Structure 1
Amino acid sequence: MRKYIKKRLFSIMSTMNEAHTIIYEQVKKKNFDMAYQLLGDCQACAIEIGTTIEQNEGEGHSAVHILEDYCEAVYQFSQSMDREANIDKSLQELQKLLNKAWDSLKYTIWEDKLEVVFLPDKASVWDSLESVWLAARDDAECNVHVIPIPYFDKNPDGTFSEMHYEGSQFPDYVPITDWQEYNLEQHHPDVIYFVNPYDGHNLATSVHPYFYTEKLRNFTDCLVYIPYYCSGGTQAEQFYEQPAYYRADKIIVQSPRLIEYFTPNVHPKIAALGSPKFDKVLNYKQEQSQVYDEWRKIAGGRSVIMYNTSISSVLRYDMQAIIKIRSIFDLVKNMNDVVLLWRPHPLIKSVIKSMRPELLKEFNELEQEFIDSKIGIYDDTSDITASVAFCSAYIGEETSSVVHLFGVLGKPIFLLNMNIIGQTEDEKLHLHFYDAAEVNDELWFPSGRNNVLYSIKKGSNEVMLQSFGPNYVKKNRLFNKILSMGDSVFLIPYNHNAICEYNTHTKVWRSTAINNALSYANFSSGCIYRDTVYMIPAKYDCIVEYDTKSRQCRYYEMRSKLKEYEDLQVDPKLDNDPLFFNGVCRQGNLILMASARTNRVLEFNTDTKEINSYEVGKEGNNYWGMAYDGENYWLISNRGKYIVKWNYHTGHFAEYDMFPDGFNGETQCFLNITYSNGYLFVFPKYSNMILKIDKYNGNMTFADFELPFKEGERKSSNYTWPSNYYFSKALQDDTVIAMSAYDNSLLLIDTKNMKCKLQHCMVNANDWPADIAGKFGKCGKNIPFACREDNNTTIGEFIKYVKDPDEKIRENQIRAYNEVTSNMDGSCGMKIHQMILDEFRS
């Protein structure tokens, strides 16, 4: 007999038992009509139980004979219940027979095997159930049915359109039961597993309404929800609350840390046992797949990288997502040593049709081009596990759970940035930097991306790699200033923790750590006096004096000194600004520093170490840069648009704001001011022109160098530096240099003839350091371990890494996923099955 039937019969007997007590009370009250009616009900229940037993166990069962005796006893009692003396004896006889029938049902009628049903909707989600199915299939106590259920696409107005049924797409080793031939209500399986929690609330698709959980809950004794997705430690907001959670008896989650993402009302239902999807990839044997022969021919022994296109990327980025796909196709077309396996989400076209119909034509054309041009392997198979097993690495969006299948296997993961649309070869090799030092007839500079030292001859586009820094580091803006003295150059740390010295003759690096260095914005500027380098703080607390002979540092408090000036009130909006930036000039033994936060210029005496303060300009002013013209200092505003001329000796100042026609900008207009040949050149931060100021009369004009771009423009989306320039600097030969953020080109301005040349600083491809291995790690709350695309970490670099991956990185990745997954040994399905079985046994 089926367990649920036996359970129902016990429930009926319990009701009869309660009726006996009520009958006794009604007879005592002389309410014979009510007692007679209840006795009739008990007799009807006994007949129903007996009939059910005969239908399931055949005629002649002892329990049926006992129930027949019970019915006779009911009749006899109904005839004599008005005689009070017989009440106790008659009811005792009824109870004795009912107890005997209970024992017979319990001990002589054996339960049939558990009826277990799996209800996947799409073949592509079968991996979310398969390991549980395997455990149930191999259990002698279970009868198992896999019943793929139909689903519908939805029109934009929410109505159903085309129906899909994927029963023929499941693996051959999975026996399929047709959904129209198995009546859930009649069969009433003991357990139903399902993976679609939405019922009718998904905007793009819907399972057949017959299989909504509001109905399924009535067709089984145990409704179990297993997510069709897997996670990296968090859960998407769309899964926080679904109707199915309240109707399911059990909810399986990947790890205990995911429980907090469900409403507390359902916490008692949750079992954190892992993900069957991980079981599938961890236990997968490649010979199971039938597509490998075809794919192997295409791959030809080359590395295969999966490109996974998710639904969320299209919904969020619209046409930008289509452009991104095309850029990746264009990239791999010219690569002979790797093959791209493109796997669009199985429902992506349905979603586009329903929610982004204007993109459908472009997507279809892109899909057809990929297939017709044989760009790679087009994967529309239902078995994602085979694809994951076949591929060496993953490229795609982080929102897809496919990324985590690669994660648990330790296969490299590269997360795409949808706003980066493929770099040209020039862009890949185009350097940017934040300062340059004159060494003989060359400019030396540290790369803005790492601690590699380069040089370039003025007027030449050819960059020479001089040296990799000590303990190679890849990080933006490690150094903000480079100074030269004798045979050495000194790199002033910004986002680094040490001053670095490189001897251009001996090729030897020396590095001296800064005490309690910050993780970013340590020093903005620096200067040399005698044999000492002075580092001027951005957000560090001190001026640091570095003795180039002893290589020792001394520290002189600046932040605390500023607090001594009671009138030095900082506007709250400036609170995150540096102490000083480009406003640093040295005259003899005095270093003058214009504050980026107040209208003060501080003076540091390198001999006495004393600090003086001068109020310059109006109260409320603050300064980002400063230049000396041989007589006066010129200061550019930080948060305003004024320019101030200040005489150090007299204290007199004047403000200039008569900007040329067409000037545009109100705050943070200027990056730097540089003096050369009688003029001051002001380079824009966020304003729209380079200014030229006559030092004698303060006349301000537009310095029109006929540049092939407008200030504020960028050559492509790969140039993302927010300021219009990186730096500007006056050289010794009446030349001013400045690096534009338009395309990282270097402006060489001849201030005598007012001519400008553009110099492109291109590094040789062979000199480009392969350092992508250092970019792997945690990428947000839901990505335990991966590498993320940015302008310095490209798809091309990742592909090179895939061909020779690091075993330690693989081990670290597996370790990271172990922390967010229960039972990552492939045993999740077995433990889910065992838990459900134990509950039925209990």
Structure 2
Amino acid sequence: GELYAVTYNDYLFKLIGRSFKYESEIAISPNLPRHRCYSTQVVDGDKVMFIPHNDNQISVYNIKTKEYRVYPLELKDEYQAPVNNETRSFFDGIINKNKLFLLPGGYRNIVAFHLDTKETEHCLDLLKLFPKEKMDRVGYGWTWLNENTILLVSLNTNGVLEFNLDTYAFKVHRIGPQNYSFHNIYKYGENCFLIGGQPFVMKWNYESGTIETYDKLPDNFKVARKQHWVFFSNNIKPYKNKLILLGGYTNMVLEFDLDTCEFRKLDVFDEIMNRKLKAESNDDLSFSTCNYMSDNFLYFVHKNEVLYRYDFEAQTMEEICDLVPAFNTDDYSAINNNFIASMLKGENSQVKTDDIDKFQDGHSGERIYKYVKAKVLRK
């Protein structure tokens, strides 16, 4: 298959050989900064559907024609819960019976986008289950319970939300102590395995309700920085009976055996773990910033801005490429033309300013736009 990557400022790149080549500029809403407008993607044949994170529309890319179509969502202010001016609306999507279900990040409702009529349907009000004043977001991970029902977990509560995609019926399961929370969940055999916000894995039998907690980690396992999560398990799923646990800020990478329920340190990750960083600022990032699984391979982007591939079968590591993208003259021309076209239409083409820099007031892009428009384009 083909491997694509999306940057934080919503540009699409394609892995060709040993480098990423510019593919296209993802269509976003006018007047929005290019900053995480979309969180993840759902592939449906030749179409890639970008799930809105800080945008309020679905952007669909046709791989064959290389064209975009956008579909606005009828979202409601009462369900929005922005943090630092970011809506973080949805974190994933599921296609089921001609509907694209949007799984809530900050948005307090499960939304279905009808693929035939392009209508927006609000399916489940989550304001009471996930109060805005107490929780910054809703879901982090999910799994199938059966052919029409999913389980959704949160780092803000020990509640696991069961939701039927056909009937919209729901149920909340309280799993473990009240102070527990979960980063992800997987169905394996008759049990569900939950990745704790704390350093543990829990086995939960849905039918009997029994739970077992596994927290006997390898000797010398340490968490270097305290967060509301320990293992970064986004987009990771079990390979056969093995589950990789990449640490956010841990001193080792672990493997969890879903049959024996034992942890094992993976020494093959040590060289990457101990490698000198290209920039000191990268130290603030988690060990992996992006994960993707295909067949027996785990692709992950290390915080040193390098793409690696781990082979579950051979238990070997391969460095694929640096993340510095390759541009040619046509790429630069396309980006520049899009920038100018956006200005002519009165749209906001700027990327988001660095919130950490106290000297940036967030209006530099607007001032540059007005200057260029007045002095150069004379519009």
TM-score of the two chains, using structure 2 as the length reference:
0.79
Q: Deviations over 1:551-590 (max 9, x none)?
A: 2221123423516xxxxx99x9xx3442111344464111
Contact 1:671 1:727 in 2 (8 A): no
| Superposition deviation, residue 604 in structure 1 | 1.0
Distance 2:128 2:27 in 1: 34
| Superposition deviation, residue 701 in structure 1 | 0.9
RMSD, aligned α-carbons: 3.4
1:287-686 to structure 2, matched below 5 A, reads 441-448=1-8, 450-456=9-15, 460-471=17-28, 474-514=33-73, 515-516=75-76, 519-562=86-129, 575-585=134-144, 587-638=146-197, 640-665=198-223, 667=227, 668-672=229-233, 674-686=237-249
Q: Deviations over 1:343-400 (max 9, x none)?
A: xxxxxxxxxxxxxxxxxxxxxxxxxxxxxxxxxxxxxxxxxxxxxxxxxxxxxxxxxx
SS at match of 1:560: coil
SS at match of 1:807: helix
1:725-736 to structure 2, matched below 5 A, reads 725-731=288-294, 733-736=295-298
Distance 2:292 2:254 in 1: 15
SS at match of 1:546: strand
2:345 counterpart residue number: none
1:786 counterpart residue number: 364
Alpha-carbon distance change, 579 to 488 in structure 1, aligned in 2, over 3 angstroms: same
Alpha-carbon distance change, 551 to 603 in structure 1, aligned in 2, over 3 angstroms: same
1:387 counterpart residue number: none
1:432 counterpart residue number: none
Distance 2:320 2:48 in 1: 23
Contact 1:501 1:510 in 2 (8 A): yes
Contact 1:546 1:552 in 2 (8 A): yes
Q: Pick which of 600-609 and 683-692 moved more.
A: 683-692
Alpha-carbon distance change, 553 to 462 in structure 1, aligned in 2, over 3 angstroms: same
Aligned-residue identity in percent = 22
Question: Could you tell me which amino acid in structure 1 is paired with residue 279 of structure 2?
Answer: S
Distance 1:632 1:503 in 2: 38
SS at match of 2:87: coil
1:82-481 to structure 2, matched below 5 A, reads 441-448=1-8, 450-456=9-15, 460-471=17-28, 474-481=33-40
Alpha-carbon distance change, 670 to 608 in structure 1, aligned in 2, over 3 angstroms: same
Alpha-carbon distance change, 579 to 455 in structure 1, aligned in 2, over 3 angstroms: same
Contact 1:445 1:482 in 2 (8 A): no
Distance 2:375 2:362 in 1: 12
SS at match of 1:670: coil
- 2:307 paired residue among 737, 740, 746: 746
Contact 1:683 1:728 in 2 (8 A): no
Distance 1:680 1:776 in 2: 36
| Superposition deviation, residue 737 in structure 1 | 2.1
- 1:695 paired residue among 258, 273, 293: 258
Alpha-carbon distance change, 538 to 775 in structure 1, aligned in 2, over 3 angstroms: closer
| Superposition deviation, residue 505 in structure 1 | 2.3
| Superposition deviation, residue 453 in structure 1 | 2.1
SS at match of 1:625: strand
Distance 2:196 2:217 in 1: 14
Distance 1:586 1:468 in 2: 36
Distance 2:373 2:201 in 1: 55
| Superposition deviation, residue 614 in structure 1 | 1.4
Contact 1:676 1:734 in 2 (8 A): yes
Alpha-carbon distance change, 461 to 552 in structure 1, aligned in 2, over 3 angstroms: farther
Number of equivalenced pairs? 343
User: Per residue, is there more strand in 1 or in 2?
Assistant: 2
Alpha-carbon distance change, 806 to 763 in structure 1, aligned in 2, over 3 angstroms: farther
2:350 counterpart residue number: 774
Distance 1:585 1:695 in 2: 17
SS at match of 1:709: helix
Give unmatched runs, 5+ long, in structure 2. Answer: 340-347
Distance 2:50 2:162 in 1: 23
Contact 1:451 1:474 in 2 (8 A): no
Question: Could you tell me which amino acid in structure 2 is paired with residue 461 of structure 1?
Answer: R
Contact 2:41 2:50 in 1 (8 A): yes
Q: Deviations over 1:473-508 (max 9, x none)?
A: 653322221111111111111122212111222333
Alpha-carbon distance change, 454 to 598 in structure 1, aligned in 2, over 3 angstroms: same
Contact 1:590 1:604 in 2 (8 A): yes
Distance 1:674 1:506 in 2: 31
| Superposition deviation, residue 461 in structure 1 | 2.2
Contact 2:353 2:360 in 1 (8 A): no
Distance 2:200 2:122 in 1: 33
Alpha-carbon distance change, 550 to 704 in structure 1, aligned in 2, over 3 angstroms: farther
Question: Could you tell me which amino acid in structure 1 is paired with residue 90 of structure 2?
Answer: F
Bigger CA radius of gyration: 1
1:377 counterpart residue number: none
Distance 1:506 1:655 in 2: 50
Alpha-carbon distance change, 482 to 775 in structure 1, aligned in 2, over 3 angstroms: closer
Distance 2:349 2:145 in 1: 42
Distance 1:750 1:777 in 2: 38
Question: Could you tell me which amino acid in structure 1 is paired with residue 364 of structure 2?
Answer: A
| Superposition deviation, residue 680 in structure 1 | 0.9
SS at match of 1:705: helix
1:764 counterpart residue number: 326
Contact 1:585 1:593 in 2 (8 A): no
User: Per residue, is there more helix in 1 or in 2?
Assistant: 1
Q: Deviations over 1:325-353 (max 9, x none)?
A: xxxxxxxxxxxxxxxxxxxxxxxxxxxxx
Question: Could you tell me which amino acid in structure 2 is paired with residue 689 of structure 1?
Answer: M
SS at match of 2:127: helix
Q: Deviations over 1:751-775 (max 9, x none)?
A: 1111121222442233364569725
Distance 1:597 1:776 in 2: 28
Alpha-carbon distance change, 589 to 764 in structure 1, aligned in 2, over 3 angstroms: same
| Superposition deviation, residue 626 in structure 1 | 1.9
Question: Could you tell me which amino acid in structure 1 is paired with residue 326 of structure 2?
Answer: N
Q: Deviations over 1:799-819 (max 9, x none)?
A: xx9xx99533779xxxxxxxx
2:343 counterpart residue number: none
Question: Could you tell me which amino acid in structure 1 is paired with residue 103 of structure 2?
Answer: I
Distance 2:159 2:374 in 1: 50
| Superposition deviation, residue 603 in structure 1 | 1.1
1:131 counterpart residue number: none
| Superposition deviation, residue 617 in structure 1 | 2.3
